[in-house]
A and B are shown apart, each in its own frame.
Chain A
Amino acid sequence: MNERVRAAVAAVRDPELTVLTIEELGVLREVAVDGDRVVVTVTPTYLGCPAMATIKADIVAAARAAGGREVEVVVSHSPPWTTDWLGEAARAKLAAAGTAPPRRGPVLVALSVRCPRCGSPDTSELSRAGSTACLSLWRCAGCGQPFDHMKDH
């Protein structure tokens, strides 16, 4: 049952970046199963991430559906979440969904972000604050389309 619960929790999707699971996003840190008792440790992307309540509720529901009875979700702030935890597959999924993935490494100043639609590097940041705390809004000069970029964090 351990693996079933773990897989069910890992498959929970982020309610805002719906193409990613919480595991792919790096929000899921640990699933500890002891009999029918499950303790799930998560870490928020941003301290004020409003999706956290939904994520917790979805985790509890998923773990129960997979056989867990007593499910506890623990929020840990250490080590702090970083976009460096997003693997290549997760970045590819974001790009395919029209969201430019974050760049790797300690980049805080926006240099150039490639357009996820046409690949052009000729883009500009319209607003550092986008539709969610972790996204910024960009426009591509190549294809003229606006797009989201997951901020390097």
Chain B
Amino acid sequence: MYEGVVQNLIDELGMLPGVGPKSAQRIAFHLLAADPADVKRLAHVLLEVKAKVRFCQVCGNVAAEEQCRICRDARRDPHVICVVEESKDVVAIEKTREFRGRYHVLGGAISPIDGIGPDDLRVRELMTRLADGVVTELILATDPNLEGEATATYLARLVKPMGLKVTRLASGLPVGGDLEYADEVTLGRAFEGRRLLDV
């Protein structure tokens, strides 16, 4: 244990995803030794990102304004919504240039172990978006792991009465993994070959 603020810093860093106690300590001492101007810049962007970046009111993607760039873009097809877990998945799918519709970012996947149920995700917002009948296809692009599959099944059942076309990305994605780790070609192909989900 270190004294006061140093330990506080280590503790805070240690709460970041992917940062264990050892790395937290390394980063903390790096910051202690760094040029004050550099640290100030880091502190500034941290605050700025919190102050300025918001989540799109429509789709939940990170946005600089009330709506994200994609939701504001009138050329995007309003009839298709691709449901993903995180904003980073939007970035991954955009890179493939295969998809011209809109997104819906859930903010995670159903995982009882982590205490995450449908109510902790942006499911209700999705249902609201679907209510007016404009959307005709829902692409479920949650991660190809157990929790992602369970979330996709849950959503497919939920929207079943609405009579939408519900599809899931084709297999070929690395099973058990994260969407963001799939390379562009594989992900693009998975989009093209998406299959109807029957629940």
Partners in one complex: no
Which B residues contact A (CB, under 8 angstroms)? none
